[in-house]
Structure 1
Amino acid sequence: MGLFNALLGNAGEMSIADATEELSTILGPNENIELAYKLVRDMIILTDYRLILIDKQGITGKKVEYRSIAYKSITMYAVETKGHFDLDAELKLWISGQHEPTTLEFNGKTNVYAMQGLLAAKVAGK
């Protein structure tokens, strides 16, 4: 099922230790990863300060775009849980300065409630 989800473009949970090791060069001095998701090579990281979208490009994946989004820039979000016939969950983020939402898809094993709870605390400024 992991390969099937990867082919569909659905991210799954990743260990915080693995994410911290891989991203040690781009994290701030006291920045900690709270949730991490991986989709083949790309990653979605929620830290205590920001949301990081990582897009590894090209055949080798050596070219990488790190999109850093401050939680205060997220004006609205929507979380759609998986259903009986829909095997993935979805997160839509409306970011100030963008007209269309950024949409991220997660596999059915992902705990979207944990992600939603963390986003609620961060976006509300808690």
Structure 2
Amino acid sequence: MGLISGLMGNASGTDVEAVKKDYGKLLGRNEQVVQAYQWIRDLMIFTDYRLIMVDIQGATGKKVNYHSVPYKSIRHFEVESAGHFDLDAELKIWVADMGTTPLVKTFSKDADVYKVQALLAECIGK
């Protein structure tokens, strides 16, 4: 991930093996990490059962919020690709029982937002 992109709050793909090592304690038995995207400190982990959003808080990063969204709870999602002047792509996810406000994540132009969309569609369709 580029430093400028990270500072702007845009995610890009990250090493799945490193995510497994660092966040394996979050996974259930037989649960596998499929793909992950990282901002400066925060992370979005796609497993074969759910989406895990890791929000590292505070200056020291000791306080961490883990938001787990089972794929069956995702009602719909929207992907907006990057343009010529708008260099970031967005993913919006509407989750059941969370009202009308979607979860919104921004991705760098280097992240393949079509791959993210295809992965999410595949996971929801299981």
Short-chain TM bin = over 0.9
Tell me by how many angstroms 1:64 deviates.
Answer: 0.5
Deviation string 1:51-82 (CA, Å, 9 cap, x unpaired) is 00000011110110000000000001001111
Question: 1:22-101 to 2 correspondence within 5 Å?
Answer: 22-99=22-99, 100-101=101-102
Aligned residues: 125
Deviation string 1:20-69 (CA, Å, 9 cap, x unpaired) is 11101111111111110111110000000000000001111011000000
Q: CA–CA distance in 1 between the matches of 2:119 and 2:39? A: 20
RMSD across aligned positions (CA): 1.1
Q: TM-score, normalised by structure 1?
A: 0.95
The residue that corresponds to 2:115 in the other structure is 114
The residue type paired with residue 85 of structure 1 is F
Q: TM-score, normalised by structure 2?
A: 0.95
Q: CA–CA distance in 1 between the matches of 2:34 and 2:112? A: 13
Identity percentage over the alignment? Answer: 46
Could you tell me which runs of 5 or more consecutive residues in structure 2 were left unpaired when the two chains were aligned: none
Tell me by how many angstroms 1:6 deviates.
Answer: 1.4
Deviation above 3 Å: which 4+ runs of structure 1?
A: none
Secondary structure of 1:44 counterpart: strand
Q: CA–CA distance in 1 between the matches of 2:87 and 2:69? A: 27
Secondary structure of 2:5 counterpart: helix
Tell me by how many angstroms 1:98 deviates.
Answer: 1.3
Could you tell me which runs of 5 or more consecutive residues in structure 1 were left unpaired when the two chains were aligned: none
